[in-house]
Amino acid sequence: MRDILPPDSARWRRFVGVFAGVVEAAGYGQIMPPLLEDLGVFTRIGEATDVVTKEMYDFVDKGGRHIALRPEVTASTCRAFVQHRPPTPWKTWYTGSNFRYEKPQRGRYRQFDQVGVEVLGADDPYLDVEVIALGWEFYRALGLSRVTLLLNSLGEPDDRARYVEALRTYFTAHLGELTEESRVTLAKNPLRVLDSKRPADAPVLAGAPRIAQYYGDAAAEHFATVQAGLASLGIPFTIDSGLVRGLDYYRRTTFEFQGATLDSAQNALGGGGRYDGLVEALGGPPTPGVGFALGLDRTLLACDDEGVFPAPDPSVTVFVVDTTGGAEALRITADLRAAGITADRAFDNRSMKSQMKAADRSGADLAVIVGANEADAGTVVVRPLRAAVVEGQSGQTTIARSDLLTYLRNTNT
Ligand code: HAM
- The secondary structure of 183-234 as a DSSP string is HHHHHH-HHHHTT---GGGHHHHHTSPPGGGG--HHHHHHHHHHHHHHHHTT
* pLDDT in the model for residue 248: 79
Report the separation in Å between the CA atom of 293 and the middle of ligand 1, taken as the mean of its atom positions. 6
* pLDDT in the model for residue 267: 85
Direct distance between the N- and C-terminal alpha carbons of the chain, in angstroms, rounded to an integer: 40
Residue ranges, the chain, pLDDT below 50: none
CA 251 vs CA 58, 245, 269, 274, 311: distances in Å? 27, 11, 21, 5, 38
* Separation CA 230–CA 259 (nearest Å): 19
* pLDDT in the model for residue 157: 87
* pLDDT in the model for residue 51: 86
Whole-angstrom Cα Rg for the chain? 28
User: What's the whole-number average pLDDT of the chain?
Assistant: 94
In this structure, the residues whose C-beta lies within 6 A of any atom of ligand 1 are 72, 74, 100, 102, 107-109, 112, 114, 116, 118, 246-247, 268-273, 275, 291-293, 295, 297-298
Report the separation in Å between the CA atom of 271 and the middle of ligand 1, taken as the mean of its atom positions. 7
* pLDDT in the model for residue 389: 54
What's the predicted TM-score (pTM) here?
0.92
* pLDDT in the model for residue 394: 63
HSE on the CB side for 395, CA within 13 Å?
Answer: 13
Q: Is 203 exposed, middle or buried (0-12, 13-18, 19+ CB in 10 A)?
A: exposed
* pLDDT in the model for residue 387: 65
* Separation CA 326–CA 405 (nearest Å): 19
